[in-house]
Amino acid sequence: MDSPSKLENLRFVASLLGVIRHRMHEDGEDLLTYLIDIAYLEASDRLKQKSPPAEASGKVLPE
């Protein structure tokens, strides 16, 4: 499993990309919005792959 700092970095990057994507969308920057969205999706996918399953971490998923 990856060290917590790598997961924290991915969470941080995904969060920042989400904010930047929103701002670019509001400004009408369609190409930048698209490119940032691709980077956001990639970061999110990597987070899903590297994060432990919810039941292994003790978290309970809502039904």
Give residue-wise pLDDT tens across range 17-55. 999 999 999 999 999 999 999 999 999 999 999 877 655
What pLDDT is stored for residue 35 in this prediction?
97
- Of the pLDDT bands very low, low, confident and very high (cuts 50, 70, 90), residue 11 is very high
Q: What is the largest CA-CA distance in the chain?
A: 42
What pLDDT is stored for residue 22 in this prediction?
96
What b/e readout covers 9-44, taking b as 16+ CB neighbours within 10 angstroms? ebeebbeebeebbeebeeeeeeeebeebbeebeebb
What pLDDT is stored for residue 63 in this prediction?
53
Task: Report whether 14 contacts 43 (CB < 8 A).
Answer: yes
pTM over 0.85, yes/no: no
The tokens of 21 are what?
A: 């994507």
